Chain A
């Protein structure tokens, strides 16, 4: 028997919750340059189901947080500047709201995917003399150094870019997450926040940035807190029996079942937002004919793809059998065709659907729902069906 899992690379950083993870019995692995829990004693399957049925807390402090403010002091100028780097409508992003977008490159590929919020932050968070209006970004951990350089390079003349390395990020996800947090911290107003609302909130004495979002397909929040207070905050959250600590293993199966892209697997610098099925994140104002059409890196290619279509698309893949089909598996039209027409980008076992689930990039000619394809696993062709990648319905709180 041999374990094909990768070993941890050297020189890993630790998050503020490192000791707490060990105390909770976590198995640690290297991920995005950090030592993070892959699972706790509960195990991946039960952690996954716990999050779908009750609530879980995730340490996502490896992710990058940063503020973008215009040198002019006008939020409007920062919004206009950021639209040069992302295809989302940032100008219309209301105070207290958040949008999902991508940093694109000139070839129309994705440098990273990210969350962008329009926030008012108090001196308790910023250490400044008075409240500020700012754009607040959360980017992927593995990309954050490159993202910072990219944003600096393009926005530095107009904007001040402030990374927030002293802040941790804790996600609390699941159907009972928001109710439990509102009770623990006596913040009933948290239950009134809508999906993609984001606001500063004091949680038990900890000045936090609370966003009603996450990456599991469940209702929940992501909480940014000073790293010096992250352990205190997390202990208070874990004192509630409805909430259990959840590792990266279940985080991956949760996002995969929810059909959400993992940067580096399902999207990367060679895959466009249109190929990845993310055109919903490009608002009308940035599309051809919109009031601020294009104007972002790769917009000529991306907008053309929106009008004329693409030659390959991201799809969900449901294997016939019980065997999981992993990333990089090649896909074929028939049991004996020699030319592959796509590949699996993420795959594994979905504990909630209780079956293997996968997504992949396939030729548009074979991307229609219901198309039968064959995945080559250990030399054998296994039948899969093209399906909507949302294997588990999203439970976001919209009203």
Chain B
């Protein structure tokens, strides 16, 4: 598992990246009540805002951590946003991207680097 400075996790499997928000992120956001995911097939660029989460406190954006095409989205978290709070890094995943530029993965943080970021 790798991470971004925007508190997203990335699980790589060949050319496919499974993306979601970290446990730290869900704790900071509080109880999620709404999730909006990108359409399957959408081409996304690294850093682009492609999903929205609303907690009881505020709205936040979720960015594409890598460029590519949305291959699959997790409808379960749209139906039950609290799944992201309960199990953020497994059942609470957001979307899968088929990567168009695998070299971008070099910029992801490993677990130790992400932990340092959290301080």
Please list the residues of chain A having a beta carbon within 8 angstroms of any beta carbon in chain B: 1-5, 38-39, 43-46, 48, 249, 253, 322-324, 326, 348-349, 351, 356, 378
Contact = CB atoms under 8 A, between A and B. Distances in A.
Nearest to B27: A27
Contact of B28 (A3, A48, A253, A349): A3
A1 B58 contact: no
Interface residues of B, number: 25
Given A349-B33, A349-B34, A324 B59 contact: yes
Interface of B: 6-8, 21, 25, 28-31, 33-34, 36, 52-63, 82
Closest 10 CB pairs of A and B: A349-B33, A44-B56, A45-B31, A5-B58, A1-B6, A1-B7, A323-B34, A324-B54, A4-B58, A322-B34
Contact of A1 (B21, B31, B34, B36): B21
A39 B30 contact: yes
22 contacts: A1-B8, A1-B63, A2-B60, A2-B61, A3-B28, A4-B60, A5-B58, A43-B31, A44-B30, A44-B31, A44-B57, A45-B33, A46-B31, A249-B30, A322-B33, A323-B36, A323-B54, A324-B59, A348-B56, A349-B34, A356-B33, A356-B34
B56 A5 contact: no
Contacts of B34: 322-324, 349, 356
B22 to A, nearest CB: 8
Nearest to B79: A322
Contacts of B52: 323, 378
B88 to A, nearest CB: 11
A48 to B, nearest CB: 8
A45 B59 contact: no
B37 to A, nearest CB: 12
A320 to B, nearest CB: 13
Contacts of A324: 33-34, 54, 59
